[in-house]
Amino acid sequence: MIDVVEIQKILPHRFPFLLIDKVTEIDSGKTLIGYKNVTIGEHVFQGHFPGHPIYPGVMILEGMAQAGGILAFKSMNATEEEIANKVVYFMSIDKAKFRNPVRPGDRLEYRISVIKNKAAIWVLKGEAYVDDKIVSEAELKAMIVDK
């Protein structure tokens, strides 16, 4: 398990753009499961949409990307110092689909799996669920580079 304090040692993102609260399972080089608790306190709900709050699909994709970044870094067996000098750049997001809306009070679970890894390039399958019901999916391609 990886808590938010350790996540912040891996990812450069901070509030309000850190979109993963905890990693509950990780199989290095293969899969990751983590989640974000979606609350009405999210800044994005001020404008998306007043009176009918829906968590934006682009934020779900970014959460998947952040979870994928954690999986890539943890799979490299890098030290904290090495991780601090690197960053993940997303190169493409393909086959993105949105199946169901995500609302305040939902626990958004990210399930990430490695499709392919060659050197610094990672191709990942990302899925997002609420109550075991798929809400979004995409194929993500990223590169780990020096800062």
The CATH code of the domain that includes 140 is: 3.10.129.10
Strands annotated E in the chain:
22-27, 31-37, 86-98, 107-118, 121-130, 133-146
Nearest to residue 109, comparing CAs of 43, 64, 73? 64
pLDDT at 89: 93
CA distance 62 to 69: 10
Q: What does the pLDDT read at residue 61?
A: 98
Sheet order of strands, 22-27 included: 22-27, 31-37, 107-118, 121-130, 133-146, 86-98
- State the catalytic residue, choosing from 13, 43, 48, 52: 48
Q: What pLDDT shows up at residue 80?
A: 86
- pLDDT at 105 (0 to 100): 98
Q: Please state whether beta strands 133-146 and 121-130 pair in parallel, antiparallel, or not at all (unpaired).
A: antiparallel
Q: What is the pTM of this model?
A: 0.96
**Would you give per-residue pLDDT tens digits along the chain (147 residues)?**
999 999 999 999 999 999 999 999 999 999 999 999 999 999 999 999 999 999 999 999 999 999 999 999 999 988 888 888 999 999 999 999 999 999 999 999 999 999 999 999 999 999 999 999 999 999 999 999 998
CA dist 20 and 14 (Å) reads 10
**Which residues, in sequence order, are bridge partners of residue 70?**
none
Name the residue range of residue 83's domain. Answer: 4-146
Q: What is the pLDDT at residue 82?
A: 87
- Indicate the number of domains in the chain: 1
Q: Identify whether 43 is a catalytic site residue.
A: no
